[in-house]
Chain A
Amino acid sequence: MSVRIDGREFPADGSILDAVLAAGIDLPHLCKDDNLPAIGACRTCLVEADGRVVAACSAPASSVREVLTTTERVERIRRGVLELTAAMGDPRPDLPHGPCGVQARQTFAAHAGVSNGLSRRERTAVDSTNPFFSFVETACILCGRCVAACQQLQHIGAIGLAGAGLATRVTPGASITFRESICTSCGSCVAACPTSALSPKTGGAE
């Protein structure tokens, strides 16, 4: 089984995203963690597959024949999603070779510190009660990786995404602080965070 990506054939293993990245193509994938199943929340990994715009992380490569990552349409829509993401606050890409990809880095950089009047809500909580890391909400893009790491990888369940719609927020326990929660300071959420929303208190800070 193979899949045609931007004109070249590649093995159709795993998701479209797996195949695209294996092909050495740069594609943002903010909510896909190497250690976790796809979440499908950030919608930045968009490609055009057999003429449809799909999230590459959550579609099996074997289910499509032809993938295009740079059509005018998909670039435009992906940029639209990245702009909405940037406007959430101040998402600074965390890892140098992380999931942001060039397009996300450029979009975030272009929007950094620029108030475009589009920011939707008060996302300004800071929780530094944990001795090892802090949570700075302005950088959070609600990708859900930290929660998935805590619930599905560590089976701790110290944090959740409380609330719905625009009111959704990363929340320890039933709205308590990290320190008061059952957080064991394992650091999984910090490692999973694609922005600097969850960051170590020493060493890793920018």
Chain B
Amino acid sequence: MQLSPESLPRRARLLPLLHAEHGRRGWLSPESVTAIAREARIPVAEAWEAATSYRDFHFESPAGKAQVCTGLSCQLAGAATEAGEAVMGCRFRCYEAPARGHDQPFPEQFIREAGPLLAPDVTDWRGLERARSVGREAALAEIESSGLRGRGGAYFPVGRKWAGALAQNRPIALVVNAEEGEPGVFKDRALLCRRPRRVLEGIAIAAELLQPAVVAIVVNGEAEAARMSLEAALASPGLPQNVDPWVVPGGGGYILGEETTLLNALEGRKPVPRLRPPYPVESGLFGMPTVINNVETLANLSVAFRDGAAAFRSSGTVDAPGTKLFSVSGQVREPGVYELPLGIRLAEVIERAGGAVSGSVTAVLTGGPSGGFLAPSEFGVALAPGVLHPTGAMVGAGGLVVLDESSDVRAAVLAMARFNAEESCGKCTPCREGSPRMLDFLRENDAGSLEPLLEVVGAASLCGLGQMAPNPLRSALHFWPELFR
């Protein structure tokens, strides 16, 4: 039996109320935030510090401005702002760069390669039924033996994460993360828009096995189409009876990919990381042991229970079985989502995506702003969890941004440095003060000052965003030192 969102502490209403008000008026005024704070029964200063931390919210009327995407893939496709256009950051429609205007449902034709996950959407609940019929213990053991790892970017073993929460012997919160805020990654949107029932079966299996007291699904606030598709699927007849999720639109920001930040957001607090310990599985949402899984991770549960652990293990690597959704964009002929086994070589993914638009591929950004730029000499690398190159490139959430002979590598590196500087949540000094300065030193070709700063920001920052912000710069300095002299 799950709690309804109304039975959570009132402050949990803050983010949904802010989002609704922003949707109605297009911006938030001090007066409207003050009224919302009253309704959520939190002090105005706390509501204001939370509201003003989200990237999607405007605090002055943006009346009548057209919007243009300034994400990396759109920049590579020549997007430039014209007079009167509002800069939006990444719109997560990198597959149709340069993207303009509002959110669209993910187009089916951009699902370029489908495996078990993106096979036509499920029509029955066979996976859930199997999880039920084998019993809880056996089902948990099966997850363990399937070797499934989280797909949000950290690849933590799902079985181990769940065991950590179950060991607490208290009511659990299940948080499903579809906040998807990394430029160049659009696979959660693809899943929710095109295979919502696959996702729901995964969530239902998790709900069956974890018996959570609350299930929250956080969908990126601007991914209107994905949220509507999810809600439509939730309203369709014949749904598993055991899930009654609280669907929460997020407020935007790369930092929401950090688990404890997402928890603060759900609790109506300023979206910044918490300290660990305690870990979310010990004390997460309102103190409950909390499991946070990416939607792609949960969709994989549906596959694992339908086909069985052995079949699941038949693709991917021994250490990281299964397929991964790669979001391929940039200067590549066939951008889109590719479902391919973990461990596939980067070169093969590029080839499947039709190769470079002009000339040959000169660089690939893997793992987005926390990953790195790889030069052609590295394209033989296997895309699996762990570092792909000592400078810190990694698969992360599976974003691959391709650069070709028409692309300006230096500008792309600067774009990532700027992204990290702008997306720093501002909580800790090294990242807040250091990452904008990394951008300056890079711009000024001052590698001598940059190197020691990369060490400080990487080692001293509080969370992964700051710790990994130096990675794209390190890789660029390694492979293309001449561009920064």
Contacts and interface: CB of A to CB of B under 8 A. Distances in A.
Interface of A: 38-44, 46, 53, 55, 58, 60, 63, 76-78, 80-81, 84-85, 87-88, 118, 120, 141-142, 144, 147, 150-151, 156-168, 171-176, 181-182
B43 A156 contact: yes
Interface stretch (B121-129, B344-352, B369-377, B424-432): B424-432
B261 to A, nearest CB: 11
Contact of B46 (A58, A63, A87, A157): A157
A164 B462 contact: no
Contact of A161 (B276, B426, B460): B426
Contact of A40 (B37, B255, B423, B462): B462
Contacts of A144: 427
B436 A85 contact: no
Contacts of B276: 58
A87 to B, nearest CB: 7
A184 to B, nearest CB: 12
B45 A171 contact: yes
A175 B48 contact: yes
Nearest to A156: B43
Given A77-B456, A166-B432, A174-B44, A161 B270 contact: yes
B426 A165 contact: yes
Nearest to B53: A164
A77 B459 contact: yes
Contacts of A87: 433
Interface of B: 30-31, 33-34, 37, 42-50, 52-55, 253, 255, 270, 275-277, 421-430, 432-434, 436-437, 452-453, 455-456, 459-462
Given A41-B462, A163-B52, A174-B33, 18 more contacts: A41-B428, A60-B277, A63-B277, A80-B456, A84-B430, A85-B433, A87-B433, A88-B429, A158-B45, A160-B50, A161-B426, A164-B52, A165-B426, A167-B426, A171-B49, A173-B34, A174-B44, A175-B30
Given A46-B460, A164-B424, A142 B43 contact: no
A78 B459 CA distance: 10
A43 B461 contact: yes
B41 to A, nearest CB: 11
A174 B429 contact: no
